[in-house]
Chains A and B, each alone.
Chain A
Amino acid sequence: MEDFVIEFMFFLEVLFSGLLTGTLYSLVALGFVLIFKASGVFNFAQGAMMLFAALSLVGFQEMLGVHWTVAFLLTVVVMILLAWCVEKFVLGKLVNQEPIILFMATIGITFFLDGFGQTLWGSDIKPLDIGLPTGSLDFGGIFVDQLELVAGATAGGLVLGLAIFFNKTKIGRALRAVADDHQAAMSVGISLRNIWIIVWSVAGLVGLVAGIMWGSKLGVQFSLSLLALKALPVLMLGGFTSIPGAIIGGLIIGAGEKLAEIYLGPFVGGAIENWFAYMLAMVFLLFRPQGLFGEKIIERV
């Protein structure tokens, strides 16, 4: 009986830490969703943007010796500038191109940002400390990482904020209009350019927040950009166009991969997390090809 209780507690711990890790994935996935939703661009550069934002934050802190809030604001300015540049020099020139071409263009942006970020701030690993709590809390034998709790709360807050932004503000409504139909939105006087700049800025901001969370966890280093790969199954499962989908998808993927690794992994040699997340998402897709919350794909001949 006692064994059972211990096992059950362990199960709960795995589940809970999986869910929390999942919200960390969601943070990365959110940036993808925002841009895909408003411009139909599959933004490969989201990982690089996250890295770039985190690097800038640490860089400003180091270089200017300012409090992290100042560095944060400076980084926000940088990300807005980046969004403007992306619109001005890349997307603006590629209006009406096929999605795969836009996707490729974001790869160009990725290469550029990877090189540019390292040129400015170096490739060394940099500790990021903005006073987020570290270490774990002990809830009757269940250890919970404090940083992940903060990340979970932040992710929740971000989604709530974005939901309000999209549904209640004028800009948000304009964004949704653009997402529905570029042509129609333009014809009622919405400036596509401004909308894109706003969306990329918001995605940059989300990237910054994700970068802070992951950077506090891992230190700011080039590997952060690889986290985009962890966000893809989340994106796929939740649907490319749904903000709540990114959160729910993150929870499912996070919990799923941890449970699989611990209860399935030992039988097949372990380290199955990576492909399991993708397999899980693929199985979901077989039943709902547009993801859990994605818009239904309607095809007409």
Chain B
Amino acid sequence: MISMNKVSKHYGSFQVLADCTTQVHKGEVIVVCGPSGSGKSTLIKCVNGLEPFQSGEIIVNGVSVGDPKTNLSKLRSTVGMVFQNFELFPHMRIIDNLAIAQVKVLGRNPEQAREKGFKLLDRVGLRVQAEKYPGQLSGGQQQRVAIARALSMDPICMLFDEPTSALDPEMINEVLDVMTELAQEGMTMMCVTHEMGFARRVANRVIFMDQGRIVEDDSKEAFFGNPRSERAQQFLAKILHH
């Protein structure tokens, strides 16, 4: 579904990504972790072309992301993305946040789009908030709406960029529950997250990055049981400490 081959990116002389190669198969859940500045977010943003890269190749569902001839808007409409800071559109009601891209991008009729929006809000338990504005919801609720908004486009896979990092601890679980449910339904997911509990429960594979390189790319059992690199061992020792 997603295939990366030797993807590299640099800002001037600073190497952000170096020769990153990995595959995500249909139905797989991949957790990407690593210290800050290791390039995790940049890597995931390269998948739908929000970040350009200088060399290498990314193929999503048979389409090359880096090819200048690719219709990026069309590609992006098939890949759902959830951001650290939710990024709902503050001037629209919740239901309109869910409907607008369906109407303007996919050309669905507004009634159907709202109908689908309501169904998805039901699914994330926020139907009653449909007529409110994003600023009137808690962070956890906003992030669940953001997931529903991404799902409204019927994506073939979902990208999560630290979806729980900006949340109060109390609200992290409600978001992770939605993500877990999604994974169990067979959605292909690539998640940048520090939630190691989520990784242990849900992930098929864990990618560990450091200084722009993919240092480990292994099944979760292997990664948590016996990380090969010293850097990953240190990382795990630190974050699993408490």
Q: Do A and B come from one complex?
A: no
B: which residues have CB within 8 A of A? none
